[in-house]
Amino acid sequence: MSGVYEERAAIALGIITLIAALLTVTTCRSFLNLLNRLGISRPLDLKPYRSLFNLHSYYWWVVLGGLVTHITLAIYHTGLPVAGDPDAPLHWAILSLGLASFSAIVVTLSSCRVILTLSSSMHRKSPLSHGSYRSFFKVHSYVWWAFTFIVAGHFTIAYVHAGIWPR
């Protein structure tokens, strides 16, 4: 019976992390560009959105903390899947996509305005003065798309396996 509770805790943390990730992506500089392309100009003039936008760096902490805890509980629940376990292929797929999403989120964070601000406050020169980082900084929105597809795969396989709330 404890396996069900471990799985529920991992799922609850996954949902919290997903909500924090949605807050993070919707307050991202790339999302501002998307809103502009959809015809919503100057979204930062809207006080509620600006309030959310200013908390962007805090959402990252929730995402990273939730993701690390979610992955830890998931691995604790499944262990390393072994041959003979009928759920082993699904567990491997879920764990693999979870670890891939963690990697994608770390890459996304490394090209985020939060890291740029932090780095600029610690060093005299902005990281954007380096051509390679500037090129990486420009593809930030594409990394979000990769993260989105990986998470969609992770969520789909996890839903097929356990549903939203296992019994």
Q: What are phi and psi of 27, to 5 degrees?
A: -110, 15
Q: What are phi and psi of 127, to 5 degrees?
A: -60, -25
Closest CA to 112 of 23, 20, 25: 25
Alpha helices by DSSP H, listed for the chain, are: 2-26, 29-37, 47-53, 56-78, 88-110, 113-122, 131-138, 140-162
**What is the Cα 49 distance to its own chain's centre?**
20
pLDDT of residue 62: 92
What pLDDT, in 10s, does the model give residues 32-86? 888 888 888 888 888 988 898 899 888 988 998 998 888 888 888 777 888 788 8
Residue 120 exposure: Cα atoms within 13 Å on the Cβ side: 12
Asked whether 118 and 101 are in contact (CB, 8 A), the reply is no
What pLDDT, in 10s, does the model give residues 80-113? 888 788 888 888 898 899 889 888 888 888 877 7
User: Residue 10: helix, strand or coil by DSSP?
Assistant: helix
Asked whether 131 and 137 are in contact (CB, 8 A), the reply is no
Please state the domain extents for the chain. Answer: 2-162
Specify the pTM. Answer: 0.77
pLDDT of residue 19: 92
Q: In degrees to the nearest 10, what's the CA dihedral of 69, 73, 76, 78?
A: -130
- Per-residue burial over 41-79, b = 16 or more CB atoms within 10 Å of its CB, e = otherwise: eebeeeeebeeebeebeebbebbbebbebbbebbeebbe
